[in-house]
Structure 1
Amino acid sequence: MISAADYAGHDALGLAGLVARGETTAAELLEAALARAAEVNPRINAINIPMHEIGRARAREALQGPFAGVPFLIKDIVQDYGGVPASSGCTPLRDWKAPSHAAITQRFLDAGLVIFGKTATPELALKGITESRAWGITRNPWNLDHTPGGSSGGAAAAVAAGIVPMAGANDGGGSIRIPAACCGLFGLRPSRGRVPLGPRMGEAWEGANSDLVVSRSVRDSAAMLDALQGPDVGSPFEIRAPERPYLDELQREPGRLRVAFCTRSPLGTPVDPQHVEAVRRAAKLLESLGHHVEEAEPQVDGPLLARCFITMYMGNVAASVAEIRALTGCAESEFEPDTRVFAQAGRALDAGEYVRRRRLWNDFARALGRFFQSHDLYLTPTLACPPVRIGELDQPAALRAAQKLVLGLRGGGLLLRSGMVEQIATESLAKVPFTQLSNLTGTPSMSVPLYQTAEGLPLGLQFVAPFGEEGRLLRLAAQLERALPWFGRVPSL
Structure 2
Amino acid sequence: MSVFPEYVDCDATRLAELVRAREVSAEEVLEAAIERLERRNPAVNAVIRTTLEESHTAAAGPGGQAFSGVPFLFKDILQAFAGVPMTFGSAAVRGYVPPVHSEYVRRALGAGVLPLGVSNIPELGLMATTEPEAFGATRNPWDLTRTAGGSSGGAAAAVAAGIVPMAGANDGGGSIRIPAGWCGLVGLKPSRGRVPMGPYHSEVWHGAVCEHVVSRSVRDCAGMLDVLSGPCRGAPYTAPRPERPYREAIAADPPALRVGFTTRSPVDMPVEPSCVEAVEKCARHLQNLGHHVEEAEPAVDGMAIARAFLTLYYGQAGAQLQRLSELLGDGFRPSALEVTTRALARLGQALSAAEYCHAHDHWSTAARAMTEYHACYHLYLTPTAASAAPRLGELLPRGWEYLQRRLLSLPGVANAALRLRIPERLAAETFAATPFTQLANLTGQPAISLPLHWTDAGLPIGVQLIAPTGGEARLLQVAAQLERACPWFRRCPPAAA
| Match of residue 313 from structure 1 | 313
Q: What one-letter code is carried by the residue in structure 2 that aligns with 1:83? A: G
What CA distance in whole angstroms lies between the structure 1 residues aligned with 2:393 and 2:125?
A: 18
| Match of residue 348 from structure 1 | 350
What CA distance in whole angstroms lies between the structure 2 residues aligned with 1:130 and 1:155?
A: 10
SS where residue 260 of structure 1 aligns?
A: strand
Q: What one-letter code is carried by the residue in structure 2 that aligns with 1:61? A: G
SS where residue 174 of structure 2 aligns?
A: coil
Tell me, yes or no, if the aligned pair for 1:202 and 1:236 is still in contact at 8 Å. yes
What CA distance in whole angstroms lies between the structure 2 residues aligned with 1:476 and 1:177?
A: 17
Cα-to-partner distance string for 1:351-403 (whole Å, 9 max, x where unaligned):
11111111220000000000000000000000100100011223232222222
| Match of residue 221 from structure 1 | 221
Tell me, yes or no, if the aligned pair for 1:49 and 1:117 is still in contact at 8 Å. yes
Bigger drift between 341-350 and 277-286 goes to: 277-286
What CA distance in whole angstroms lies between the structure 2 residues aligned with 1:54 and 1:457?
A: 35
| Match of residue 366 from structure 2 | 364
1:240 CA drift (Å):
1.6
Number of residue pairs matched? 493
Bigger drift between 95-104 and 462-471 goes to: 95-104
Tell me, yes or no, if the aligned pair for 1:449 and 1:458 is still in contact at 8 Å. yes
Tell me, yes or no, if the aligned pair for 2:2 and 2:35 is still in contact at 8 Å. no
What CA distance in whole angstroms lies between the structure 2 residues aligned with 1:237 and 1:275?
A: 34
1:290 equivalenced with 2:280 (yes/no): no
Q: Which runs of 5+ in 2 are unaligned?
A: none
Q: What one-letter code is carried by the residue in structure 1 that aligns with 2:301? A: D
Cα-to-partner distance string for 1:154-179 (whole Å, 9 max, x where unaligned):
00000000001000011110011000
Q: What one-letter code is carried by the residue in structure 1 that aligns with 2:376? A: S
Cα-to-partner distance string for 1:437-475 (whole Å, 9 max, x where unaligned):
110000001001011011100011000000000001111
Tell me, yes or no, if the aligned pair for 1:443 and 1:465 is still in contact at 8 Å. yes
Q: What one-letter code is carried by the residue in structure 1 that aligns with 2:242? A: P
The structure 2 residue matched to 1:473, chosen from 452, 475, 484, is: 475
Tell me, yes or no, if the aligned pair for 1:64 and 1:110 is still in contact at 8 Å. no
Which runs of 4 or more aligned residues in structure 1 lie more than 6 Å from their structure 2 counterparts after TM superposition?
none
1:4 CA drift (Å):
4.9
What CA distance in whole angstroms lies between the structure 2 residues aligned with 1:18 and 1:38?
A: 23
What CA distance in whole angstroms lies between the structure 2 residues aligned with 1:4 and 1:22?
A: 13
| Match of residue 251 from structure 2 | 251
SS where residue 74 of structure 1 aligns?
A: strand
| Match of residue 15 from structure 2 | 15
| Match of residue 418 from structure 2 | 416
1:399 equivalenced with 2:394 (yes/no): no
What CA distance in whole angstroms lies between the structure 2 residues aligned with 1:292 and 1:286?
A: 8
1:334 CA drift (Å):
1.3
What CA distance in whole angstroms lies between the structure 1 residues aligned with 2:82 and 2:455?
A: 41
1:218 CA drift (Å):
0.3
| Match of residue 113 from structure 1 | 113
Cα-to-partner distance string for 1:335-358 (whole Å, 9 max, x where unaligned):
111110111111111111111111
Tell me, yes or no, if the aligned pair for 1:185 and 1:449 is still in contact at 8 Å. yes
What CA distance in whole angstroms lies between the structure 2 residues aligned with 1:419 and 1:466?
A: 34
SS where residue 221 of structure 1 aligns?
A: helix
| Match of residue 461 from structure 1 | 463
Equivalent runs, 1:161-240 vs 2, <5 Å: 161-240=161-240
What CA distance in whole angstroms lies between the structure 2 residues aligned with 1:460 and 1:209?
A: 21
Bigger drift between 275-284 and 343-352 goes to: 275-284
The structure 2 residue matched to 1:441, chosen from 443, 446, 459, is: 443
What CA distance in whole angstroms lies between the structure 1 residues aligned with 2:481 and 2:285?
A: 11
What CA distance in whole angstroms lies between the structure 1 residues aligned with 2:381 and 2:4?
A: 37
Q: What one-letter code is carried by the residue in structure 2 that aligns with 1:111? A: A
What CA distance in whole angstroms lies between the structure 2 residues aligned with 1:348 and 1:409?
A: 10
1:58 CA drift (Å):
1.7
| Match of residue 263 from structure 2 | 263
SS where residue 309 of structure 1 aligns?
A: helix
When the two chains are superposed, the root-mean-square deviation of aligned CA atoms in Å is 1.2
SS where residue 408 of structure 1 aligns?
A: coil
Equivalent runs, 1:54-69 vs 2, <5 Å: 54-69=54-69
What CA distance in whole angstroms lies between the structure 2 residues aligned with 1:423 and 1:145?
A: 30
Tell me, yes or no, if the aligned pair for 1:46 and 1:154 is still in contact at 8 Å. yes
1:35 equivalenced with 2:35 (yes/no): yes
Cα-to-partner distance string for 1:177-212 (whole Å, 9 max, x where unaligned):
000001100111100000001011011111011111
Tell me, yes or no, if the aligned pair for 1:226 and 1:245 is still in contact at 8 Å. yes
SS where residue 409 of structure 2 aligns?
A: helix
Q: What one-letter code is carried by the residue in structure 2 that aligns with 1:72? A: F
What CA distance in whole angstroms lies between the structure 2 residues aligned with 1:44 and 1:323?
A: 31
